[in-house]
Amino acid sequence: MDILKTYRLVPVEEGEDYIKLLVPRGYDPLVIEEIRFLTGKSVEALEVDGEEFSKELQNRLAQEEVYVEELKEEEDSKRDILLEEEKSPAVSFVNSTLIKATTLSASDIHIEPYEDGSLVRLRLDGVLHDYVSLPLSLHESVVSRIKVLANLNVAERRVPQDGKIRVRIGKRDLDIRVSIVPTTFGERVVLRLLDKSGTMLTLQELGLSEEDLEKVKRLAQKPYGIVLATGPTGAGKSTTLYAMILHIKSPHKNIITIEDPPEYQVKGVSQIQVNPKVGLTFASGLRAILRQDPDVIMVGEIRDGETAQIAVHAALTGHLVLSTLHTNDAPSAITRLSDLGIEPFLIASSLEGVLAQRLVRKVCEYCKEPYKPTKEELHQLGLDGDYTFYRGRGCEMCMGTGYRGRMGIYEVLELDEELKQLILKTQDANDIRKKAKEKGFRSMYEDGLEKVIMGITTPEELIRAVKVEE
């Protein structure tokens, strides 16, 4: 990567894992973070005043021009698409926005045309933030550039189009899902960024408490039965299931998944994508998987009674089945399975455990500061005493939000014989929760409250994610 030309910064020294750069005073720290991200090296910025920096930059650029050689052809095939020099404003804008979004770990880019201009927004840690405005004159060419990258019909502007872009940014391979729909003022684009570089989290990295981590490890190592991850869309359920797969993956186990679509690529795990157009649904795919001699099956989601019945059958015939359900908490999963038509004795026989989760934003480490909560705040959280909480002031590194990154808050319901006997009598979530609490079950709210007290997240985030317990 040519830092001198791309960023107009002066490299002073470069080793295998570090770079020293000369930068003018007051230089944007986000750009330093971007270079660190793209090179995979630690970056040390040496600040000098503007005049000295300007002289050094001009000298280095002059030296570079003397040594320019025409040996680009072989290199071009290996260069990142996003680091190619392009004079077109649309190409330049798309490239720089993708680099910025990836640097900030954004999950989505929205490009929205309105009467007076086009608004570009980034979704960071689950929340949309305004990024930049485009003139409508540039909007059309930006959309066309995205269509070219996604192999879509550039001339078609009347109907929705979906596509995919595969690019490399620095050392990261990205799959970008593209959705384009026509609106009153032009085509609206949403890009979903999926990192394919294998940055899967392990169970230890999920943010589980020590006690919950041990429970999840035990559940993952069960020889058969169903283990469910529950929560709303975007709560990190698939990430948790993949962490469990990583924990138990071995050359001696046949692990097959069926998903819509596969979110991670794992060596040694066979992954199937559902395709309802040709009749490949979760239910039909699951039936086919059972004929493939699997040890562990992961089903992206149990959506209907048919899939639930086959999953239970698989669990009872000696397979470990990992899947997700949309329920608010762990005990409600039992009620949901009952609603899907699974008999209580089958639930009790097949279900081994349920992990419910939400994602909360973490306090930005760059602008973190302590504060004393008011009595009202403590009362709202059900606390009494002297506590110090933490919050982010807001800085360039977190785009002024005070938050940077996310982590999970969890509750893990491990079913023992006593709870299974209770399920035979009642599938009421409140009754199951009450009995589980007697046996040491800790709720998502309690887990989140501990993370507030530890200074990892804020009371506002906890209350946004989980309702306050009575």
Q: What is the mean pLDDT of the chain?
A: 87
Q: What percent of the chain has pLDDT over 70?
A: 92
**Would you say residue 351 has pLDDT above 70?**
yes
pLDDT of residue 24: 84
375 vs 370: CA distance, rounded Å: 16
Convert the pLDDT of each residue in 308-320 to its tens digit: 999 999 999 999 9
pLDDT of residue 82: 52
pLDDT of residue 86: 53
Average pLDDT of span 72-84: 44
Convert the pLDDT of each residue in 148-179 to its tens digit: 999 999 989 999 999 999 888 776 778 899 99
Using an 8 Å Cβ cutoff, are 462 and 469 in contact? no
**Would you say residue 243 has pLDDT above 90?**
yes
DSSP 213-237: HHHHHHHHT-SSEEEEEE-STTSSH
- For the record, the structure tokens of 237 come out as 């359920």
pLDDT of residue 197: 60
212, 281, 291 from 164: Cα distances, Å: 38, 22, 32
CATH code given to domain 87-195: 3.30.450.90
**Would you say residue 306 has pLDDT above 80?**
yes
Instruction: Report DSSP state, residue 277.
Output: G
Would the pTM count as exceeding 0.75?
no
Average pLDDT of span 365-374: 93
What spatial distance separates the first Cα and last Cα of the chain, rounded to whole Å? Answer: 56
Assess if CATH 3.40.50.300 describes domain 203-467.
yes
Which residue in this structure is represented by tokens 């005073």?
25
21 vs 34: CA distance, rounded Å: 13
Average pLDDT of span 366-376: 93
69 pLDDT band, cuts 50/70/90, is very low
Q: What own/partner pairs with CB < 8 Å and gap ≥ 24 does 61-68 have? A: 61/4, 64/4, 64/5
Assess if CATH 3.30.750.210 describes domain 1-64.
no
Instruction: Report DSSP state, residue 107.
Output: S
Convert the pLDDT of each residue in 435-469 to its tens digit: 999 999 999 999 999 999 999 999 999 998 887 66
122 vs 131: CA distance, rounded Å: 6
73 pLDDT band, cuts 50/70/90, is very low
- Extents of the domains making up the chain: 1-64, 87-195, 203-467
pLDDT of residue 75: 40
Which residue in this structure is represented by tokens 């060419």?
141
pLDDT of residue 72: 38
Average pLDDT of span 422-429: 93
Give strand pairing partners of 13.
Answer: 20
Q: Which amino acid is at 42?
A: S
Convert the pLDDT of each residue in 9-30 to its tens digit: 888 888 888 888 888 887 777 7
- For the record, the structure tokens of 432 come out as 């199951």
- For the record, the structure tokens of 377 come out as 């705040």
